[in-house]
Amino acid sequence: MFEINGFDTAGVVSLKRLSLAAALKKARELVRDGCRDVQVVDPAGRVYTSFEEQAA
């Protein structure tokens, strides 16, 4: 299970997804919606913190 954590205007956001792809997609959505300090933690404890959209 992959955990997505961050902060929005209401406080802590904590979600879970079954795959890395789904977790990264949700993390990007949270960043786009204004969440701060968003990170994804995989089952091995690896932390992903960069979700900015790449300019096309």
- Per-residue model confidence as pLDDT tens digits over 1-56: 999 999 999 999 999 999 999 999 999 999 999 999 999 999 999 999 876 554 44
- Per-residue model confidence (pLDDT) at position 51: 65
Please report how many Cα atoms fall inside a 13 Å half-sphere around the Cα of residue 48, on the Cβ side. 18
CB-based contacts of 26, cutoff 8 Å, min separation 6: 4, 15, 17
pLDDT at 54: 44
Answer whether 3's CB lies under 8 Å from 14's CB: yes
Res 50: pLDDT: 79
Which pTM value belongs to this model? 0.84
With 0-12 / 13-18 / 19 or more C-beta atoms within 10 angstroms meaning exposed / middle / buried, residue 21 is exposed
The alpha carbon of residue 23 and the mean position of all alpha carbons in its chain are separated, in whole angstroms, by 6
State residue 36's pLDDT score. 94
